[in-house]
Amino acid sequence: MNRFQLVLETTDSELFRKATCELGTLFYKVNNGNGHNGIDKPMQYEIVYFSGSRVARYNGVVTDDLKRLCKVSGFEVSEILFDESLGTLKIKQKNVLEA
């Protein structure tokens, strides 16, 4: 029997939130909101949820609920690299400050 695995890429924050559960790990990266020509744009988040059978990826502006989920349950990282052909998720975390 084949083992099913979920791989989700979305810009829908509600779908992302519902596709994740407390058994995996949430990683996120905040991309600055500086646009060109001096015009600010909203901060974009890149968020990845990983568990043994599920990878969910979100890119875009986040709701307050999703931002709170990242801060409470997630780990801020400097780099998120997803290679679907190899089936790998590479996370780099630099300059972590201890509270």
d(CA 89, CA 55): 9
85 is a domain residue: yes
Question: Number of structural domains, the chain?
Answer: 1
Do the domain assignments include residue 97?
no
Residue 98 resides in a domain:
no
Domain that holds residue 15: 6-92
52 in any annotated domain: yes
Residue 66: inside a domain, yes or no? yes
Cβ pair 55, 6 in contact under 8 A: yes
Q: What CATH number is associated with residue 16?
A: 3.30.720
pLDDT tens digits in sequence order for the chain, 99 residues long: 556 677 888 889 888 888 887 688 999 999 876 656 556 677 899 999 998 778 899 999 999 999 999 999 999 999 999 888 887 888 998 875 554
At 73, is the secondary structure helix, strand, or coil?
Answer: helix
**What is the pTM (predicted TM-score) of this model?**
0.78
CA 43 remoteness from chain centre: 14
Does 10 reside within a domain?
Answer: yes
Residue 1 forms part of a structural domain:
no
Name 51's bridge partners.
54
The secondary structure element, H or E, covering residue 72 is: helix 64-73
Please check whether residue 30 lies inside any domain of the structure.
Answer: yes
Rounded to a whole number, what is the distance in angstroms from the first to the last CA of the chain?
Answer: 47
Q: Which residues contact 50 (CB under 8 A, 6 or more apart)?
A: 24, 25, 27, 89
How far apart CA 58 and CA 16 sit, in angstroms, is 7
